[in-house]
Chain A
């Protein structure tokens, strides 16, 4: 069968760090209870749950703000990106 990696390596888009597209930066605050709703809605696969808390991978986060809008606890705040 056609196996993953036959033509090119799987998941190699990780070389393309999209974090520098960001103009707004999501910050997860203490209000986060780890429900994981943001993780299901992030288009960029850059939220993981660690110790019942959402953790954002800023190497790839494009700052769309979906996570902040969809968080039922309003636990994610969008700030101006200064880096």
Chain B
């Protein structure tokens, strides 16, 4: 990539934890969008670590919505741009999984239903990290969080991860894709593609969180790759409701390889035998491998 393409729109000095996957995502998302962009973020780690008063890390205009309404705020920004005759401004939402899968789902649904011209990006660190690792609708099965603790009678989160790309697709969105910071060229291509399509678009970006998941800060990208190589986190685009351009894993890794490097799953290996739970997680991977053709 030529150096002028290495445009950097997240200033250093932000307060993300060392090794933060969400910060990596921000840099990769903003690069293909460029300066002619307005971003809206719901409350969450990204909003917090980029915006202490008067020390913004954003190099593009940015708005903080509430936790629950980034979709609606982006719709309003687009409506205002339309009234002003500003036709060529890129508009992106960058919100967490809590803000997307749970509390912001209604506002996102409305934005999709109205066919507003917004690229909605969910950075998915699989829990409410900013408030101290509470489970969300995105937290994977069996992960320990502060609200789904592990113990003698509990093995972590009972429910499965919600299929938000599928929910968005059911709204007949113009573009739906998943991506991971571990595959930056793929991620940047998808952001560029989405941005060039008119209407509502949704991209879900897997962003490992060293603090919430419990791994060393240097391993953020490796953990992201393992999530994909085991089949737990499928990377794809959707066309006519079917997954296409699925990221293949030549050598599928057993789920243990992903679980054992993260302390949110460590209870599956000690104290009590949790082989059944590991088998269940492997079955989720197998089903993904089959369904998506990983």
What 0/1 pattern do residues 55 to 71 of B give for CB contact below 8 A with A?
11111110100000000
CA A29 – CA B8 in complex, angstroms?
24
CB distance from B62 to the nearest CB of A (A): 8
In the bound complex, do residue A16 and residue B221 qualify as a contact, i.e. CB atoms below 8 Å apart? Answer: no
In the bound complex, do residue B14 and residue A44 qualify as a contact, i.e. CB atoms below 8 Å apart? Answer: yes
A73 within 8 Å of B by Cβ? Answer: no
| Contact among A2, A49, A57, A70 with B61 in the assembled complex (CB-CB below 8 Å) | A2
In the bound complex, do residue B16 and residue A13 qualify as a contact, i.e. CB atoms below 8 Å apart? Answer: no
| Contact among A16, A18, A41, A59 with B24 in the assembled complex (CB-CB below 8 Å) | A41
CA A78 – CA B8 in complex, angstroms?
24
In the bound complex, do residue A16 and residue B58 qualify as a contact, i.e. CB atoms below 8 Å apart? Answer: no
Chain A residues with Cβ under 8 A from B38's Cβ? Answer: 1-2
In the bound complex, do residue B12 and residue A46 qualify as a contact, i.e. CB atoms below 8 Å apart? Answer: yes
In the bound complex, do residue B19 and residue A43 qualify as a contact, i.e. CB atoms below 8 Å apart? Answer: yes
CB-based nearest A residue for B181 = A41
B220 within 8 Å of A by Cβ? Answer: yes
Chain A residues with Cβ under 8 A from B61's Cβ? Answer: 1-4, 6
In the bound complex, do residue B57 and residue A13 qualify as a contact, i.e. CB atoms below 8 Å apart? Answer: yes
CB-based nearest B residue for A15 = B55
In the bound complex, do residue A66 and residue B12 qualify as a contact, i.e. CB atoms below 8 Å apart? Answer: no
In the bound complex, do residue B8 and residue A1 qualify as a contact, i.e. CB atoms below 8 Å apart? Answer: no
In the bound complex, do residue B218 and residue A8 qualify as a contact, i.e. CB atoms below 8 Å apart? Answer: no
In the bound complex, do residue A43 and residue B57 qualify as a contact, i.e. CB atoms below 8 Å apart? Answer: no
List residues of A (1-42) whose CB comes within 8 Å of B's CBs. Answer: 1-4, 6, 8-18, 21, 36, 39-42
Chain B residues with Cβ under 8 A from A60's Cβ? Answer: 12-13
In the bound complex, do residue A43 and residue B13 qualify as a contact, i.e. CB atoms below 8 Å apart? Answer: no
B271 within 8 Å of A by Cβ? Answer: no
What 0/1 pattern do residues 22 to 54 of B give for CB contact below 8 A with A?
011001100000000010000000000010111
In the bound complex, do residue A69 and residue B56 qualify as a contact, i.e. CB atoms below 8 Å apart? Answer: no
B250 within 8 Å of A by Cβ? Answer: no
In the bound complex, do residue B56 and residue A9 qualify as a contact, i.e. CB atoms below 8 Å apart? Answer: yes
Chain B residues with Cβ under 8 A from A10's Cβ? Answer: 11, 56, 58-60
CB distance from B131 to the nearest CB of A (A): 21
CB distance from A13 to the nearest CB of B (A): 4
In the bound complex, do residue A11 and residue B57 qualify as a contact, i.e. CB atoms below 8 Å apart? Answer: yes
A55 within 8 Å of B by Cβ? Answer: no
CB distance from A23 to the nearest CB of B (A): 9
List residues of B (209-229) whose CB comes within 8 Å of A's CBs. Answer: 216-222
| Contact among B18, B27, B54, B63 with A8 in the assembled complex (CB-CB below 8 Å) | B54
Knowing that A12-B55, A43-B19, A63-B18 are A-B contacts, what are 20 other residue pairs whose CB atoms are under 8 Å apart, sorted by A's residue number?
A: A1-B80, A4-B58, A4-B59, A4-B61, A8-B56, A9-B54, A13-B11, A13-B14, A17-B13, A36-B6, A41-B184, A43-B16, A43-B24, A44-B12, A46-B12, A66-B19, A66-B217, A66-B218, A68-B218, A78-B218
Could you list 30 A-B pairs, sorted by A, with CB under 8 Å?
A2-B63, A2-B77, A4-B60, A4-B61, A9-B54, A10-B56, A11-B58, A13-B14, A13-B52, A14-B11, A14-B12, A16-B14, A36-B6, A41-B24, A41-B181, A42-B24, A43-B19, A43-B20, A43-B24, A43-B220, A44-B16, A45-B11, A45-B27, A48-B6, A62-B18, A64-B18, A66-B24, A69-B219, A69-B222, A78-B218
Which residues of B approach A to under 8 Å, CB–CB?
1, 3, 6, 8, 10-16, 18-21, 23-24, 27-28, 38, 50, 52-61, 63, 77, 80-81, 84, 86, 89, 181, 184, 216-222
List 8 A-B pairs, minimum CB-CB distance, nearest first.
Answer: A65-B218, A11-B11, A13-B13, A43-B23, A60-B12, A64-B19, A62-B18, A16-B13
